[in-house]
Structure 1
Amino acid sequence: MGKKRSRETDGQGDVSMADPAVDKKDDDSSDDEEDMDIVNVDFELFNYDPQIDFHGVKTLLRQLLDVDAQLFDLSSLSDLIIEQNTIGSTCKVDDKANDAYAFLTVLNLQVHRDKKPVAQLIEYLAERARSDESLAAVVPELLASDKHVGLVLAERLLNMPAEVIPPMWTCLIDEIEAAVEDKEPYEFTHYLVVSRAYREVESTLDQTERKPKKAREVAELQYFHPEDEEMRKHALASGTYEYVKEGEFVADSKRAFQEMGIKSCGLIMLIEASKFSGAVQAITEYVGTAT
């Protein structure tokens, strides 16, 4: 994927990659003869456009914050994100006018702390961080300070290939550097990355036909975003938290996850600004860039 565009122009970068191969058997062939069709899809990065991106960003924010999304003013948060149209990217297919398949941005918590959606997030993240020993030692105090912390929000559709993500992070680094040169408020001491993860639990499918199982150890943490596993290695502190509204509201999609034995949770990673570029480089090497 090429560089998205300069801060002064409306150009765009793109990436061409093959979707996972689809096996298709020819009607006239034997069972062991297969033809493989590969579909090429061009993903493009765009700056935020207030006339286009509100609903796409809001939908992805709802996915990112899971059941706790109902605690926030997502409309105002979406507006704040797309107003920063030189910081962060949307990833789309075919045309700028389409909804985003992925988005990435960073918000200065100190600059925006008096705005309702940011104040809500600060209070929420500080409280959730207290439930994890690693996070509790540093995150609540940092959020209450006057330091400039960059809140990183990133999400994508579940079937998006991970290879499109490193270019988005690389563009973000470039844009932050350009903004700092222009004396804009993006010189952070830390980056606070909010993401999602999950653990495998006992499936509820056919549960009535199963005998009760003994309590087992907490399952290993799994990642919706593969790059998060690598990024955690560069974090000053990281940890997971349970959702406030867990069990109170279950959408059909979330119920399906639970029935299959998947329980999602929030993930927070705190990265010092001096180590942020290294973390982005590490996830680029870990995921691999599209060609």
Structure 2
Amino acid sequence: MQENGKRTEVLRFAPSPNGWLHLGHACSALFAYETAKELHGRFLLRIEDIDVGRCRPDYEAAIYEDLAWLGLDWEKPVRRQSEHFVDYEAALKRLREMNLVYPCFATRKEITDAIARSGIDPRNWPTDPDGAPLYPGIYKDMAPAELNRMMWEGRNYAWRLDTERALTKAEEIAGTPLTFVEEGEGPNGETGTCTVEPALFGDVVIARKDVPTSYHLAVTVDDAIQGVTLVTRGQDLFPATYVHRILQVLLGLPEPRYRHHRLIRDTAGRRLSKSARDMGLRELRAAGKTPADIRRMVGF
């Protein structure tokens, strides 16, 4: 983004209101906020609430409360993803017109059964960076007429990206193998110019029948619309950049730089999670911890 002829860096913190914030979120928020201050840039807060079944207003209200307590401020209004489905629908439509996505009707049981029938020990079946088994392609090569019939019948489905075809098309558009610039460090020490390896995810879900997006599509579109120039986030999301770079090229969106940071872990080395209610900021505040204490606990 340019202001007065000079480039202004734009950073964001984008939590999901599906649980209370914990120390890991505090680390990510402070990392983005302090980096924006260091670069004399802008700091945005985005609410990623596309998971309408799990996101709750009280969790969202707590996000604002916790971040303000930590001493952070952000530009208004806050972008809430649930208010911008039309933007994601437009991006999905473009990918459909490019014939790079297909409807997948597979249930979890169908996927499990297909893996079992493969003759490969399920324990040896390849998994994506998030630990989920790679999609075995059950509906990938079905005739379009049959897929359309199933859609008209009202069956639930997800839109999957044909990753191999999408990468080929993206590299054709870019005229070169896809890369991205990592200014921090990936989980395996990756830094500098990194090569995109989307095959690690297989044919990833980018939208669903009832929600016209997924994390991958929404975050890519949002970062472009909001003019984000430097994406900061935890090292667990480093591999997601592979998918995001493909989508950026296919959709004609600008390429931000990336700066991934270390994760906050418990004494056993486990990454903190909302589901485990690890070191929640609400609980720490109730126990008498101060914002300065939290900053020390996460290295700021």
Q: Using structure 2 for the length normalisation, give the TM-score.
A: 0.27
Whose strand fraction is larger, Structure 1's or Structure 2's?
1
- Higher relative contact order at CA 8 Å, sep ≥6: structure 1 or structure 2? 2
